[in-house]
Chain A
Amino acid sequence: MAKHTLIDKLAILADAAKYDASCASSGTTQRNSLGSSGLGSTEGMGICHAYAPDGRCISLLKVLLTNFCIFDCRYCINRSSSNVERARFTPSELVKLTLDFYKRNYIEGLFLSSGIIRSPDYTMEQMVEVARMLREDHGFRGYIHLKTIAEADPMLIEQAGLYADRLSVNIELPTETGLSSFAPEKSGHTIRKAMADVKLRIDEDKAEQTSKIIKPGNMAPRFAPGGQSTQMIVGADTSSDAEIIKTSECLYSGYKMRRVYYSAYSPIPDASSDLPPIAPPLMREHRLYQADWLFRFYGFKTDEILSSSSGGMLDLDIDPKLAWALKHRDWFPVNVNKAPRHLLMRVPGLGSIGVKRVLSARRLTALRLDDMAKLTQSVKKVLPFIETLDWSPGKLTDMANLRARFAPPPEQLSLI
């Protein structure tokens, strides 16, 4: 095998990292490099420095330290039984690449993951070393996201958290049976234990930060100030949306996840035999994200969202909020001039910004349908569900074929 150049390695190890959906660089402490000899800043809001034609944001240099792996998870391109080309960065190669990219304003920082080589501890040590070099040797104040290896020594996770803004460990599949059949070397128990450890440490850190009489300096190491996140693969096993959403709810409540990412299983080169290459279920992934938003920000209970599902699967043709509304017509119409915020949030077509604008405007003027057209993306969508000064939907709300107004027309079978 010819020796890989740095570009060869980058191509292999970025390709190997692209199945991790997260590229977020937001939600950490605000800091910059003024008055220091280092470089980098984080200012709350993340920045997407580019977008690839898959529509995904490129915020961080997302790579694997190595794609050699002793685990054999079926859904993974890097599983030990796959024949992909393997490569490995040295920590200093990766540090230099990160800094070179950062100085040219290509990225917000580094998202480092890795296949597991030799042992979980050894691998985690190498990843921590990259983060340490960036922070300590180069005064790097940009964003660092480290994937933690659940099986690694908690002491290493502790160190990782002191250098990284965010830690994550992927739950991968919502059920224990899915995990044991697709990722035989992983255990949900170990993964959840790792999440619990990280949460505990984040909580301790927060308590310390608030209780200190003397405010700690800018550089007092915080533990993963950007919190933790995780990812579930959608469509690799037979788990239903209901199972996914319920698992998600547990993850948000149990471990204070900042985000649970849903990643439509997408065909990988050299796929495993029990995962026939299918088109990634992108619409399903999209609906799961919408559902996720509903229970996190719109006051929906997961059971409410799932009440409109059939066989535990969300409706692919219409969004879950609309699906819920169509099942619960008795909640509507909502009077936009009188209804409290939590009811406005239930109106299909009204987002949280729209609701905020409605609340602000109606203090000054009684809202008409014209006004609603200015405040929402599509007035057609809200029509059956709202009352304004000059509009009442009457029978429209309870119309039997209301769904047909929103759902895409059934696809015609094409003639060959």
Chain B
Amino acid sequence: MITAKIEAQADFDAWRTTARLLLQNEIAPENVDWEIPGSEGSLFSDLADPISRLKAVRSEIKCPKAFVEIGKRVICFRDPGRFARLYTILWRLQSDRTLLKNTVDPDVIWLTQCDKAVRRDRHKMHAFVRFRIVGLGQFRREQFAAWFEPTHYITELAAPFFKRRFPNMDWVIVTPDCTAIWNGTDLHFTPGGQKSEVPEEDAIEDHWKTYFNSIFNPARLKVGAMIAEMPKKYWKNMPEAIDIPDMIQSARARENAMREHGVTTANPMAETLKSRMALQAAHDQKFKTLADAKNAVQSCRRCPLHCHASQAVFGEGPKNARLMIVGEQPGDQEDIAGRPFVGPAGGVLNAALCEAGIDRDAAYVTNAVKHFKFKVRGKRRIHERPSAGEIDHCRWWLETEKRLVKPDIVLTLGASAVRAILGKNVRISDMRGEAHILSDGTKLFATVHPAFLLRLTDVRRREEELKSFVNDLRQARRVLDRLET
């Protein structure tokens, strides 16, 4: 019997040195008594020869690389028999190079299972270590500490992971067997310690527990699946685990509550959002032709005016007209006919255009607002002025028409049309008599609305106003003529 003494639990190099010496002396596994750290020694240890008597006989011992890789992990397996069993496998490998590939061999099965257990434990340590903040160190480096109880002797195996992940904080991981310390430059290991070396709490843990509770879906309770991956042995050092029993216990009640709660009235916000989205969608939609836009305007729900009007009245005229005439909104007759300026105000407009020498058929004629707004008085529908909001909602359609027609001159009739073109209120008296250049280069002429002339009861005043109206139109025509030559 030879006694092979191992000083540390997870020191593969020490085991390898010993095993090499034993093999060189051709000591069979059954003749080695492995004395493990902390043991009293076996019954025979007094009788056995100490390994120091042995001398290297043969120069070289070979084994597959894979065995060294696995061995470095299996040496961490918490079983006193591992040193001996690893030696047995190494011994067998000397005469059977393919042994590791024999997946049904009992030694290989043992090796594979130990390796799996150690790798799993290391993985769980990477996963389940919970740092608590200790304070700030030199150069305001944050300092953290954790207490962890691994199943196997894996602290040294697992610690480099934390170094790669957290090189810029100081940290200590205390375990019963070994303490890992990182100070920014050096990762070193000292003997195991106590749970009391680590702070008892961390303010962030309340947030973490809240998250753990909230991400859990009580309608899918699968306790077995949880325990399979997070065995109870780890729970005592995981702050969130304290809530698990309550979470399980209340799950059924919470699920039932969801069912019994049933359906509540829809949040009224949804309808508001829906209409806003429809608006946005129309906004995003760019029509390619006037016909498409004319088609789409019929389903416009941007403002409530569609609720009572018969139809939306879109502009009409050549698609590349040089002059665009913008009125306020369709009236009673326009609402029925579906065409702009076909009522009394249209009559005044036509006459004035004629006098000013403008061909209405060559112009694109439209309105600032596409739906008829009215009040019912007895059997008549009386025109009502559109609000600024209604004009602004409808502006998008006017812009679409302007984008597609690309007129050189825009002629606005009345204050609503001015607001629709400029996006703000400007008095007509401040604009009349001169051309204004819009940001896209279009020239703007502003004048009154023909309906205004119809409302004037004083005949002399009406004639004066009509004259200025025609003058305004002439001015626009002169600019048109100049553009044409």
CB pair A37–B168 under 8 Å, yes or no, is yes
Binary B-proximity of A12-39 (CB < 8 A = 1, otherwise 0): 1011011100000000000011111111
Taking CB as reference atom, which chain A residue is nearest B224? Answer: A55
Taking CB as reference atom, which chain B residue is nearest A57? Answer: B229
Partner of A50, one of B212, B221, B267, B280: B212
Going nearest first, the 7 A-B pairs with the smallest beta carbon separation are A55-B225, A55-B222, A81-B270, A81-B266, A32-B164, A14-B214, A80-B270
**Considering the chains assembled together, what is the distance between the CA atoms of A272 and B263 in angstroms?**
6
Query: What's the minimum C-beta distance from A177 to chain B, rounded to whole angstroms?
Result: 21
Supply 20 A–B pairs (Cβ within 8 Å), ascending by A.
A6-B207, A33-B167, A52-B217, A53-B226, A56-B215, A57-B229, A70-B276, A81-B270, A97-B207, A101-B211, A103-B144, A103-B166, A105-B162, A266-B219, A267-B258, A267-B259, A273-B263, A280-B219, A367-B104, A375-B103
For residue B439, CB closer than 8 A to chain A, the reply is no
**Considering the chains assembled together, what is the distance between the CA atoms of A105 and B215 in angstroms?**
17
For residue B95, CB closer than 8 A to chain A, the reply is no
For residue B127, CB closer than 8 A to chain A, the reply is yes
CB pair B206–A267 under 8 Å, yes or no, is no
Taking CB as reference atom, which chain B residue is nearest A72? Answer: B270
CB pair A365–B226 under 8 Å, yes or no, is no
For residue B308, CB closer than 8 A to chain A, the reply is no
Partner of A53, one of B216, B238, B274: B216
CB neighbours (8 Å) of B212 from chain A are 50, 52, 58
CB pair B204–A101 under 8 Å, yes or no, is yes
**Considering the chains assembled together, what is the distance between the CA atoms of A53 and B267 in angstroms?**
31
Binary A-proximity of B109-124 (CB < 8 A = 1, otherwise 0): 1000000000000010
Given known A32-B164, A100-B207, A104-B208, contact A54–B216 (CB-CB < 8 A): yes
For residue B165, CB closer than 8 A to chain A, the reply is yes
CB neighbours (8 Å) of A365 from chain B are 102, 104
CB neighbours (8 Å) of A269 from chain B are 258, 261
CB pair A51–B102 under 8 Å, yes or no, is no
Partner of B130, one of A6, A83, A105: A105
Size category of the binding interface on chain B:
35 or more
CB pair B221–A54 under 8 Å, yes or no, is yes
A-B pair number, CB within 8 angstroms: 213
CB neighbours (8 Å) of A304 from chain B are none
CB neighbours (8 Å) of A400 from chain B are none
Given known A10-B210, A101-B208, contact A70–B277 (CB-CB < 8 A): yes
Binary A-proximity of B254-267 (CB < 8 A = 1, otherwise 0): 01001101111111
CB pair A277–B226 under 8 Å, yes or no, is no
For residue B43, CB closer than 8 A to chain A, the reply is no
Partner of A7, one of B101, B163, B210, B264: B210
Binary B-proximity of A51-68 (CB < 8 A = 1, otherwise 0): 111111110011100000
Partner of A61, one of B166, B211, B238, B244: B211
For residue B126, CB closer than 8 A to chain A, the reply is yes
CB neighbours (8 Å) of A11 from chain B are 210, 213-214
CB neighbours (8 Å) of A15 from chain B are 214-215
CB pair A361–B226 under 8 Å, yes or no, is no
Given known A34-B164, A82-B267, contact A105–B131 (CB-CB < 8 A): yes
For residue A133, CB closer than 8 A to chain B, the reply is no
Taking CB as reference atom, which chain A residue is nearest B213? Answer: A11
For residue A317, CB closer than 8 A to chain B, the reply is no
Query: What's the minimum C-beta distance from B282 to chain A, rounded to whole angstroms?
Result: 14
Seed contacts A35-B167, A58-B212, A374-B103; 20 additional CB < 8 Å A-B pairs: A7-B206, A10-B210, A19-B217, A39-B166, A39-B169, A50-B212, A52-B226, A53-B221, A54-B226, A55-B226, A72-B273, A79-B270, A103-B169, A104-B131, A267-B219, A270-B261, A279-B219, A280-B220, A357-B103, A361-B104
CB pair A14–B161 under 8 Å, yes or no, is no
CB neighbours (8 Å) of A273 from chain B are 263
